[in-house]
Amino acid sequence: MSRKGGRDMKSWTKILAFSLLTLCLLALPAALPAQWAVYGATDSPYALLDAPGGGWVIATAYDIVKLSPYGQVAWGGKFDAGPPCRALWASPDGGYLTARVDDNGLTALLKMSASGSVVWKKTYTLAHAALSVFTPAPDGGAIMAGILNIDDGSAWDTEVLLCRCSPDGEIVWQRSYATGGANYDWPATAAATSDGGIIVLGQSRPTDNAAPMADLWVLKLTSAGEIEWQKLIGGATEDEGVSVRQTDDGGYLIAGRTASFDAEGLSRFWLMKLSAAGAIERQLTLDHAYGTDRCLSAGPAADGTFVAAVTSTPPGASTVQAVVVRIAPNGAIVAERAYPSNFSSLNEVAVIPTADGGCLLSQIGTVTVSVFGGSVDSYLVKIGHSGDIEWQKIYGSSLSPDSITLLDQAADGSFLLAGSTSSWGGLQAALWLMKTAPDGSITPNCHFIKEAHESASDLPATSKEVAATVRDTAAVLRTTGLVAEPANISFTSWGPTTLEPLGMPMSTLTMLTSDSSGTTSPAWGSHRFVTGTSVSLNATPKTDYAFSGWTGNISYPNASVSFVLDGDKDVTAEFRFTGDTIIDDLAEHFGCFIATAAYGDPSHPDVEVLRQFRDRYLKKSRAGRAFVDLYYRYSPPVARFIAKHPVLRRLSRIMLYPAVAISRALIK
């Protein structure tokens, strides 16, 4: 081979190697899971859906947003009027349906296109009716359930109201169902079945029974709303079903609560397996104090089992722990394990099965990690199929509430976490969305993710077979008068910067105090720091004043303190006047000297009203704080003089009356 041919071969080899390297670098972002954290909009997320083609759709009470797999906003908007969101699901055409209901019973359905525009919107009204349960119909329509109050002439009875809507929101059929007699009947949940029908979990309670005893009522309906079978299941006290999942054999797995089979009358986790015809194949309870409203995972795990997360108080303990129960399709308990955390209280749990046969568990509670007291954070645990902990982390700041309530797993093994945060965007809670690596981390490592070091504990088998009474019912169904009409609900699209990336954001520390009573470091005003910076606060009172404590986002009695600034904070340095001898110790503590002298009691309701007006209005402005400082400086001698003369005390009360009346009106 010639030298020229050799050079050409080397050149082509270099070009090929460079091309391969370029392709690898270009493919790297797709190979590594995208990780990000964003916040914005307001309120907590109510629903989380996988979007066709990747990404997610998230709904809060009034906002809805479509995110790409990389956290970019594809579209988003706010419903400016009407009831808040109660359910969200995808339709077969790539769009979305959102069900909305307010406290007055006003119910609306809205259809959103795949691109985020409103296709149609309808309200559904009927006198003495309220819809509260929403689930998708297989054809892209909706199944709605609620209650209908019936006046029989002597008393009001409550029936189950059920409605099926077409994909364009029109009512296909509507029925009400009642167990008969004087009963309160209402639905807890409903689901479409594989044969095109509907299964409804409800409750029935006699209205003439002094003891509040309710039984689980199960109705299996056809696609037209006709009754195939119906069962009333329960014991001597309260029995409720909250989750139902259809199994591969056509039967149903039902989870809920029952107090009928516990010697102490405590509500226990209740599980049963029904056949496709409604016969009970298995029923048992577990020794856990109660379940959550999301007892069963939405879908089965990789091995076909279902996962349930419940909260439980161990015997003789004052703490609450989360228990994960793995359930076979036939209703048998495969395993149950407790996952403690360092939370002093546990508010809510959520769980999803993962693609590797394990599950992801979120606990939301209060953890004490700083001198300022506790705050609400989320403790996430990735659990393997064996029940062992693979990783565990705490998400959130140490000073502000941060919660993760909705979980999802992406195709690349990463996780989407949705919740609300008060650590960014000031004191108002904001929507908080994170996409983590498969190990729960976000790279570069975010300061709001901390390692946890708890251990799982095996529990002795707590399940026991029970025998609830099963009765066939003879519900009377009838057509109702629910009306669908166009809804007057406006939708405003977002701008492109509605959601902001967290990363390492800048945080604002706003110092509030009065220059006439003392100084602070940092000084009065707003200061910007990189989030995560350790900030030292110092307060120095002026002559005749003493430092009382820090208030606002922190509460601390000492004049010098350091803390990590993990979000926007408002902090006030409180000073009290100490010059001369105040009329008494109580007046010195509460500050309302003249009013205390006039009424002779610092805890008098009128004195308390004036004190609230001072704290809520006067101290919020510079002029008001200056007035308060002057009052503290010059009013004690006047108060001492008034306190010595009963006539002046009565006259002072009369003169204070207009100020008390105005203050009370403003406060209310």
Residues 52, 438: contact at Cβ < 8 Å? no
Q: Please check the confidence at residue 416 and state whether its pLDDT lies above 50.
A: yes
Read off the pLDDT of each residue in 478-498 and give the average, rounded to a whole number.
Answer: 87
The pLDDT of residue 384 is: 93
Query: Among 43-52, 209-218, 548-557, whose mean pLDDT is lowest?
Result: 209-218
| 585 pLDDT more than 50 | no
pLDDT band at 370 (very low <50, low <70, confident <90, very high): very low
Cβ-in-10-Å burial (0-12, 13-18, 19+) of 556 comes to middle
Q: Which of 121-135, 370-384, 498-512 has the highest mean pLDDT?
A: 121-135
Give this prediction's pTM: 0.71
Q: How confident is the model at residue 191 (pLDDT cuts 50, 70, 90)?
A: very high
| pLDDT for the residue numbered 586 | 42
pLDDT digits (tens, 9 = 90+) for 419-469: 988 776 555 678 999 999 999 998 766 778 888 888 887 777 778 888 888
Average pLDDT over residues 144-150: 92
Sign of CA dihedral 648, 650, 654, 659: positive
The predicted model gives 476-485 an average pLDDT of 88
- Cis, peptide link before residue 486, omega less than 30° from 0: no
Average pLDDT of span 83-106: 89
User: What's the confidence (pLDDT) of residue 569?
Assistant: 84
State the pLDDT confidence band at 274, using cuts at 50, 70 and 90: very high
Q: Which of 335, 331, 436, 446 is nearest to 391 (CA)?
A: 436
Calpha distance 430→646 (Å, rounded): 55
- List the one residue out of 377, 376, 372 whose CA is nearest residue 393: 377
Q: What is the phi-psi region of residue 390: left when phi exceeds 0, alpha when psi lies from -120 to 50, beta otherwise?
A: alpha
**CA geometry: angle 393, 394, 400, nearest 5 deg:** 165
Count of CA atoms in the C-beta half-sphere (13 A) of 53: 9
The mean per-residue pLDDT over the stretch 462-490 comes to 86
Given this model, what pLDDT does residue 589 score? 46
State the pLDDT at residue 391.
Answer: 95
* Spatial separation of the C-alpha atoms in residues 26 and 262, rounded to whole Å: 61
Among the residue ranges 194-198, 569-573, 651-655, the one predicted with the least confidence is 651-655
Axis crossing angle, helix 622-643 with helix 646-667, rounded to the nearest 10:
150
Per-residue pLDDT, 666: 77
pLDDT reading at 417 higher than 90? yes
Residue 391, burial from CB neighbour count under 10 angstroms (0-12, 13-18, 19+)? middle
Please report, to the nearest 10 degrees, the dihedral formed by the alpha carbons of residues 382, 386, 389, 391 taken in order: -50
Whether the predicted pLDDT of 368 surpasses 80 = no
pLDDT at 173 over 70: yes
Give the type of residue at 161.
L
Q: Of 35-39, 399-403, 544-548, give the range with the top mean pLDDT.
A: 35-39
Among residues 112, 96, 119, 224, the alpha carbon closest in space to that of 171 is found at 224
User: What's residue 610's pLDDT?
Assistant: 82
- Percent above pLDDT 90 for the chain: 35
Does the pLDDT of residue 604 top 80, yes or no?
A: no
Residue 347 has pLDDT above 80, yes or no: no
Give the residue, 23 or 478, on which the prediction is more confident: 478
Of residues 585 and 510, the one with the higher pLDDT is 510
Over range 235-264, report the average pLDDT.
90
Q: Evaluate whether 477 touches 175 at the Cβ level (below 8 Å).
A: yes
